[in-house]
Amino acid sequence: MKTWKLISGILSCVLFILVALQSCAAGFVDAVEGTGGTGGGSGILVAVLMLAGGIVSIASCKAKGKGGNIALIILFGLAALIGFAGHGVFKDLIIWSAWCLVCGVLAIVSLVKGNKNLGQES
């Protein structure tokens, strides 16, 4: 799971740029059209949470405690929830929310797997 945390952390940090740019464009389109959409704002929140999750993932890839995994579950889970709930006309946000959901689920797997390994060492 260390390799997954490192790779997903790097990918999340790189994808932050793409999601942020797309969110700004979606927010601009929402403002110009006057539709009152929330896709741009939701996208910015997802991008920031994705960046934070990526940084935590990289920082905790060699950690042995449960704190990093719990933080990843919260950050990526919240990003997925916000993205799925507020995508509006910004349909690409569903893809980025799915990425966050996958990362959150794998953090749960890492947490459960880590607890089993800790139990075996005792």
Length of the chain: 122
- Nearest C-alpha neighbor of 43 from the set 60, 19, 65, 59: 19
Which tens digit of pLDDT belongs to each residue from 5-49? Answer: 899 999 999 999 999 998 888 888 878 877 777 778 888 999 999
Dist. CA 70–CA 106, nearest whole Å: 11
How high is the pLDDT of residue 44? 92
- Nearest C-alpha neighbor of 21 from the set 106, 93, 100: 93
Which tens digit of pLDDT belongs to each residue from 59-74? Answer: 988 888 888 889 999 9
How high is the pLDDT of residue 122? 42
| Extents of the domains making up the chain | 2-116
pTM greater than 0.75: yes
Which tens digit of pLDDT belongs to each residue from 72-96? Answer: 999 999 999 999 998 777 788 899 9
Dist. CA 83–CA 80, nearest whole Å: 5
